[in-house]
Amino acid sequence: MDKETKTILSQVDVGLQAEQFFKTELGKYLTQIAIEEATSAAEDLKVVDPYDTSKIMKLQIKAQVAEAALKWLGEAILIGRQAEHELKIREVEENES
């Protein structure tokens, strides 16, 4: 098996693990917490003193971290699905040869 195929298989595996993680109790819990943190930060940003730049920055970071965690897992799933599609294309091409 060549290096590129190993990389693709690894991406598929990581994507499948990320999908499974979202289905676990821990994954559901962390997803809920991330959503709550981002929502809370957004709500707090609506009422924070516009001149309190330190508080604004903290709230922005709070929201960004929560959203980033979900984004990273979502990206892993997407990359895994794309890799799986690539494997299927390769399989079809090999069968046609």
Q: Check pLDDT > 80 for residue 6.
A: yes
At residue 37, φ and ψ (nearest 5 deg) are -65, -45
Q: pTM higher than 0.85 for the full model?
A: no
Q: Check pLDDT > 80 for residue 97.
A: no
For residues 18 and 76, the answer to whether their CB atoms sit within 8 Å is: yes
Residue 96, pLDDT score: 84
Structure-block tokens of residue 43:
């709500």
Question: Which 8-state DSSP code applies to residue 97?
Answer: -
Question: Which 8-state DSSP code applies to residue 2?
Answer: -
Tens of pLDDT along 37-84? Answer: 999 999 999 999 999 999 999 999 999 999 998 999 999 999 999 999
